[in-house]
Amino acid sequence: MSDTHTELHGPHGLADAYLPLERAPYEALVTAVLAWKNPDLTPRDYEQIVLQLTGHAHALAADVLRHASALPKNDGRGALAEVILREAAGHLAQPIRGTAHCAQNRARLVRGLYTRLDRLTEPAPATT
């Protein structure tokens, strides 16, 4: 493994949870999976895609939690992150299936976690 990217192994993605995530390849995968109309892959191919997205979603959830925990208690972004993380945990608890539907659900989850992470890492809105 080079020092310029992170490889995630295992369905929970916990080994590399605190290393910088390689975002671009996963965003490209999410875009491709969500663009499927009538994919014709084998169940094993779908399962491999789901495993990749699941591992990345676990690592993203850990990153969201880390950023949310660092916010002041009165910052509403942290409370919303907790809701998103509970929803993500529910989705990640679902069994992995070798289907396009399962892959697209995991892709939506990764997209949603990136959206939340972006909102946590942008500067807090100014108060008047």
Structure confidence at residue 4 as a pLDDT band (50, 70, 90):
very low
Determine if residue 86 is left, alpha or beta; phi over 0 gives left, psi from -120 to 50 gives alpha, anything else beta: alpha
Q: Which amino acid, residue 72?
A: P
pTM, entire model: 0.80
Q: Residues 88, 115: contact at Cβ < 8 Å? A: no
69-128: pLDDT as tens digits: 999 988 889 889 999 999 999 999 999 999 999 999 999 999 999 999 999 988 766 655
